[in-house]
A and B are shown apart, each in its own frame.
Chain A
Amino acid sequence: EVQLLESGGGLVQPGGSLRLSCAASGFTFRSYAMTWVRQAPGEGLDWVSTINIGGAYTYYTDSVKGRFTISRDNSKNTLYLQMNSLRAEDTAIYYCAKGGLYSSSPIDYWGQGTLVTVSS
């Protein structure tokens, strides 16, 4: 059974940093692209970032470029999202999601999410 377990969310002040983790199990982690998606309160799904299977190729939505960094450790079956210079508008539930072989492959599994609140 595919499982994606996010952690690392919490309350942080504007300008602060957080590192989200996603522990994956139930599939061969190193063989699949991975994605972070966020959802602000009462809003729709908003793509944040995607990483390819080896970690060499990364993609970001414009609003987080230069502030967020996606990475993966295939030896630990873990996906990360380093978030710096956080803003109030980054407040959201952050979901880890599994894709397919390619970065362009659709998402086919979702984690339960971790809440990030940016507020003073």
Chain B
Amino acid sequence: QPVLTQSSSASASLGSSVRLTCTLTSGHSNYIIAWHQQQPGKAPRYLMNLEDSGSYNKGSGVPDRFSGSSSGADRHLTISNLQSEDEADYYCETWGSDTRVFGGGTKLTVL
């Protein structure tokens, strides 16, 4: 089954851009993933699904500031014009071998 690897933390300044990365294990580089956001004390929220081609589909109400891209086994989530409300944990998710898998999550701090 695939394994998803994420950096444990990231930080960026208010109004800047940040790119978060989720890396699939070798042999699974063509897998579709999803990105989810979890603000402090809240339930997760679906942001988008992202294909190996870089094509992505965002969830309802997700701001235009959020975009996705892919490069090989890496799946990127880019947040532009960072806002204070973007400070959250970000998780990637995929499915393989009859198992749903989550990455360990990246805690984003907005400075």
Contacts and interface: CB of A to CB of B under 8 A. Distances in A.
A21 interface: no
Give the size range of B's interface with the partner.
Answer: 20 to 34
B92 to A, nearest CB: 10
Name the prevailing secondary structure of the B interface residues. strand
Interface in A30-52: 35, 37, 44-47, 50
Interface of B: 32-34, 36, 38, 43-46, 49, 59, 89, 91, 93-95, 98-105
Given A44-B105, A45-B105, A106-B49, 15 more contacts: A44-B104, A46-B102, A47-B102, A59-B98, A95-B44, A103-B95, A104-B95, A105-B95, A106-B33, A106-B34, A106-B95, A107-B46, A108-B46, A110-B45, A110-B46
16 contacts: A37-B100, A44-B91, A44-B104, A45-B93, A47-B102, A59-B98, A105-B95, A106-B32, A106-B34, A106-B49, A106-B94, A107-B36, A110-B43, A110-B44, A110-B46, A113-B43
Interface of A: 35, 37, 44-47, 50, 59, 61, 95, 103-113
